[in-house]
Amino acid sequence: MAATDGSDGKAEKVKTTTTLDQRWAMAQILLHLYKKHHYGYADMARDAGLAPVIIGKKADNGKHIQNFITKNGEPIHADKIKSFIRRLIDEPHPAFVRPSPSIQGLIWAMEAAPSDKLTADNALQDFVEGIAGTIVEKGGKWPQRLSGIYGGTWIVVRYSAHYSMNVEQSPPDDPGIVYAALEIIPSPTDTALPAFKGYYKPTIDRKKDPPKEVKGNIISLGSGEYMMFVGYDDNDKYPMVITTRQDKSEAVQPDSFHGFILRKHERGSFITGYVYLFRTDFETLEELAKHETLKDFGIKRRSELVKLLEPWNSRIATIVENILNKPRKPYENGQAMLRFLDRNPAKKDQE
């Protein structure tokens, strides 16, 4: 029984403007859509506007796409398939939101892009985006969503590694706490990552020294339940990572959130700990840093920190105890650490 295109009993012969290399790249893109994004052959053929193949009296809606893939790009319907893939790229379909280097290379091959596009800078950027593409939330809407919910300035507090590592001694009931500030800068477009910058002051700096700056970007992980801040110290290139739960509801902006921080310590070691952030009304980080009392970043005794921040958050003493101190107590046997990120960040001050 003959296989034909449509119902006229004859195989349609279609001229194409594509080359063999272009069609091979298109076949690999279709295979990626099928395997990684569960886009069925029949659905692709329908969306590309291809009539079904008739085998005897039975219609096979996906045969054209299947043949195109298995034959590494047969000429028939190549132009329609190319237009179909272009539409998916323009939407964009999740497969083409920050595509991996391999997929971007296939797109360039499909479009017969000149080789000068494959510069070292582009290759490095695509490589980085390819790695992030495996962990970042799919779709292009999350940068604007995250920016709308979390954009603004935040006070940052965490226990000081100096005291937890016994570099310096302090009273057990009045330990040192790092006081810093951070601004989350909204994404200007759907394709740009939200950014952040922060001010802090390590102990080796004198009081009159200006604060050091940390800057980086924020990504939404997986299905959007968590987010990650990835940045570095602009002076010494020390890395910093913060991971927290993420509130995806745009109805009410959270006034606080908390998570874990991984930081390159100024004296050589990597440290991790609990970090708490609460929102301020300052428009920018620079505005906050000019405030008469809040500009004094650095390591404070807990009593000093509470006195400094109580005018801005009346519950700061409770926050420091519940969020920062309780989870690290040895009698918890690690249970508090496991529960830490499971608390609902939408609840005020995370008691």
What is the count of structural domains for the chain?
A: 2
The list of the chain residues with pLDDT below 50 reads 1-12, 114-124, 163-167, 330-351
Q: Which domain holds residue 258?
A: 142-350
Specify whether 312 is located in the same domain as 253. Answer: yes
DSSP-derived secondary structure for 108-139: HHHTT--GGGS-HHHHHHHHHHHHHHTTBPSS
Q: Same domain for 339 and 195?
A: yes
Q: What is the pTM of this model?
A: 0.58
Q: What is the rounded (10 degree) CA torsion for 240, 246, 249, 255? A: -60
Domain end residue (candidates: 107, 133, 159): 133
Q: Please report the pLDDT score of residue 340 as a whole number.
A: 45
Pick the last residue of a domain from 74, 102, 133: 133
| Of residues 66, 91, 69, 65, the one with CA closest to residue 25 | 69
Q: Which string of b and e fits 197-213 if b means at least 16 CB within 10 Å?
A: bbbbbbbebeeeeebbe
Give the pLDDT of residue 246.
93
Let me know whether 25 and 127 are in one domain. Answer: yes
For residues 127 and 209, state if they share a domain.
no
- Regarding whether 63 and 185 lie in a shared domain, the answer is no
Backbone torsions φ then ψ of 48, nearest 5 degrees? -85, -5
Q: Of 204, 219, 328, 217, give the one whose Cα is nearest residue 265.
A: 204
Whether 148 and 280 map to the same domain: the answer is yes
Same domain, 111 and 167: no
Residues 7 and 152 in one domain: no
DSSP letters, 189-256, are STTSPPEEEEEE--TTS-TTSPPEEEEEEEEEETTTTEEEEEEEETTT--EEEEEEE-----SS--SE
Tokens of 119: 């510069």
Q: Which residue has the tokens 């006195």?
A: 307
User: Tell me, what CATH number does 322's domain have?
Assistant: 2.40.128.30
What is the rounded distance in angstroms from the CA atom of residue 234 to the CA atom of residue 214? 6
233 with 92, same domain: the answer is: no
In this structure, the answer to whether residues 166 and 285 fall within a common structural domain is yes
Do 147 and 100 share a structural domain? no
Same domain, 176 and 298: yes
Q: Which of 98, 133, 168 is the last residue of a domain?
A: 133
